[in-house]
Structure 1
Amino acid sequence: MVSNSKQVTLKVFHAGYCVANGRVVDPLHGQKQCRFYATWALIEHPDQGWILFDTGYAPRFREATARWPYKLYALLTPVFLKAEETVLERLKTLGIAPESIKTILISHFHGDHIAGLKDFPQAQVICSASALQQAISLQGWAAVGSGILPDLLPTDLAQRTTPIPDAQLGNLQEDASAYDLWGDGSMRLFALPGHGRGQLGAVLQTPEGEVFLAADAAWQLQPWRAGILPRSIVRLFFDDWRAYQQTFFALRDFADRHPGCRIVFTHSPELVLSTEV
C-alpha cells in the first residue's frame, strides 16, 4: 500500500465471453475448450467520480464482425453475451447513469476490451499513445491481424482521448516509475507490452488493499503463478512475443515484491465467481 494515497472502490464484472482452445493458454493443464470472460472494472474515485477500466463485449461486436475480413475475428473466437451482462445493463442495475461515467481507461484496443466504448460518448478516454495510434490507423487485414475492429471505435476517439506517452508509463521492475494518474497515488499505471500494442495496467489502492488490473499480461491466474507460458503460436497475433514473455515474468517479480497486491487478469475465470474484488 502506498502511504498517504487516496483510495478507490472497485467492482469487477464480466460482459460475455468467447470460446477458444484452453491448451493454447495452458499447454500442460488446459482443456480443449476454454471460456475467456471479458471482464471490466467499475471504479469510484473520491474526486474523479466513476471510472471504467475497459468495457468488455457489447452487441455491436456482432455488427463489427459481420463482414470480411473482420468476420474472421468472430469465427476464431465465438462470442456469447447475455443482454443483462453488458456494461450499460450492469450500471442500470446499480443505479448509475451512463453519463455519470467520466473516464474510461482502456488497457488496449482489442475488440473484447472496447466493444462497449461507444455507449459512453461523454467520457474522457485514457490509454497509451501507441495503442491509440495503432487503433486509429489500421484497416482491413492489418487491423484484424492486430485484434482491432475499426467499427468499435468512436469517430471522435482521438479528440476525446488523453494519450499517455509510452515512455511515461511505469516499468514493472521499478516501482517508483509508475505513472500516477490522478497525482494522489490511488491509480498508478504500468506498461504491459507484448500482448497488444501499448497495453497498460493499473495498480489501485482500495480499502481491501492493492489490486493490479493487469489486463492480458497473462490470460489465467493459475498458469501465470506456475510460470507456464501460452503456446508460442500466439506470436502470430500478439504484438510482440518477446516483450510478452518479459512482461509475464516481470509481473511475477512484481508480485513477489508485493505479496499483498492482488493480481487480476481480464480473462481469468475465477473473477466471474464474484462481482466484487
Structure 2
Amino acid sequence: MADPGGLPAVCHCLLVETDADGLVLVDTGLGTADLRRPDQALGADWVAHAQPVLDPRESALHQLVRLGYDPRDVRHIVLTHLHRDHTGGLADFPHARVHVHPDEYRAVTDPSAAYHRHSLDRFMPAHRAHGPRLTPATTDGPANWFGFPGVARPQKLGHELLLVPLPGHSAGHAGVAVRDDHGRWLLHAGDAYMYHGELEHTPALGHPLLEPVQQDAQTDAAARAATRDRLRDLVRDHPDEVTVFSAHDPWEYARLARPAGVNGRTRGGR
C-alpha cells in the first residue's frame, strides 16, 4: 500500500541481540510461505487490498540470513498482536517461543473471551498450522510503565523487555518496550497508530489510506483513540527517555532504521 505520493507502507520488525537469550524478534511480518502462496495464506481479498511486496528477500528469515545470523538462534518472538501481517513469519522460526500479552492470548484461545471470533479470524490458519509455542506473558513485572498499567513480562526471557497494553486495535494489543544500552526505551507500538501525524498533531492527523484500515481492524474505537492520545502525551513528556514507533509508517522507518544499541545491537527490518 502506498500514500498519494507513492511511498509504500512498511511492516516493521525489530531484532534484538541479547547476551543470554539469543536473538529476540519483535513481530515477524509476512513469512516465506505467505510469499509463495499469498492468496491461500493471507486471503485473496486482503492481498488485493494491501498489495504486499511478494519478495522473499523482504522476509525476516532472509534478512536474518543476509545479516549473517543463524535463524535457529531466534529463540523468542514477541508479538504486538496476532494479525496476519505480524504473524506470517512464525512458521519460519518454528522452534521459537512466541510471547503475547495475556489478553491477546485469552482472546484467541478462550471461546468465552470477548472478541474471540474476531481475534481468531485474524490469526490466520496458515500461521498457526505448525503449532507455534504461543505463551502468555506474565503480569509479575512492574505495576506500570510511564503510567501505562497492566504491563506484562515474557516468560523465560531474562532480557529487559516488556509488553505494554495499548488497547483498541485488537483485544490484547500491546507495545513492546526494550531498553537500550544508554537507558533509553524503544517502544514498538505495533498498530496502536499507523501514521506519525496521529502523534505529532493535535487533533490527531490520520492518513487517508491507513485510517480506514484501522477502523476496519479495531475492536474498540474509543480505546484506540485513548491509546493514541496517551502515546502522544508520552512522546511529549518523555522525549529523552522513550522513542516510539509504529509498525507501518514508512517515514518513521526511514528515520529509525539504522543500528542502535540494545545490549549492543538492534536492527530494524521491513
TM-score range, shorter chain: 0.7 to 0.9
The equivalent residue for 2:196 is 221
Q: 1:105-124 alignment to 2 at 5 Å?
A: 105-124=78-97
Of 252, 259, 263, 1:276 maps to 259
- Summarize the alignment of residues 38-53 of structure 1 with structure 2, pairs less than 5 Å apart: 38-53=11-26
Determine which of 211, 215, 222 is the counterpart of 2:186: 211
Whole-Å separation in 1 of the counterparts to 2:148 and 2:227: 14
Structure 2: 5+ residue stretches without partners:
112-116, 261-270
Is 1:254–2:212 an aligned residue pair?
Answer: no
- 2:54 paired with 1:78: no
Deviating more after overlay: 241-250 vs 205-214 = 205-214
With over 3 angstroms needed to count, the CA separation of the structure-2 counterparts of 1:247 and 1:222, relative to structure 1, is: same
Q: Could you tell me which residue of structure 2 aligns to residue 128 of structure 1?
A: 101
**Letter matched to residue 82 of structure 1:** D
How much does 1:67 deviate?
Answer: 4.8
Alignment correspondent of 2:114: none
Deviation (angstroms), 1:226: 1.1
Measured in 2, the distance between the counterparts of 1:54 and 1:193 equals 17
Q: 1:46, 1:200 → 2: CA distance? A: 25
Change beyond 3 A, Cα 1:120–1:84: same
Which of 244, 265, 268 does residue 263 from structure 1 map onto?
Answer: 244
CA distance in 2, matches of 1:185, 1:258: 23
Query: Amino acid of the residue matched to residue 201 of structure 1?
Result: G
2:65 alignment partner in structure 1:
92
How far is the alpha carbon of 1:213 from its aligned partner? 1.1
* C-alpha displacement of 1:125: 0.7
Counterpart of 1:214 in structure 2: which amino acid? A
Measured in 2, the distance between the counterparts of 1:167 and 1:244 equals: 25
CA 164–183 in structure 1, closer or farther in 2 if over 3 Å, else same:
closer
Q: How many residues align?
A: 245
TM-score in terms of structure 1 length = 0.75
Residues 2-36 of structure 1 show CA distances to partners (whole Å, capped at 9, x for unaligned) of xxxxxxxxxxxxxxxxx15x4xxxxxxxx376522
Q: Distance in 2 between matches of 1:131 and 1:154?
A: 18
TM-score, reference length from structure 2: 0.77
The residue correspondences of 1:173-252 to structure 2 (distance < 5 A) are: 174=147, 178-181=151-154, 186-208=160-182, 209-227=184-202, 228-230=204-206, 233=212, 234-252=214-232
Letter in 2 for 1:206: D
CA contact (8 A) 1:172 1:254 kept: no
Name whichever of 164-173 and 101-110 sits farther off.
164-173
What is the aligned counterpart of 2:27 among 40, 50, 54? 54
Task: Tell me how far 1:258 sits from its aligned partner.
Answer: 1.6
What do you get for the CA RMSD once the two structures are aligned? Answer: 3.3
Q: Distance in 1 between matches of 2:171 and 2:7?
A: 24
Partner secondary structure for residue 79 of structure 1: coil
Identity over aligned residues, as a percent? Answer: 22
Matched with 2:265 is none
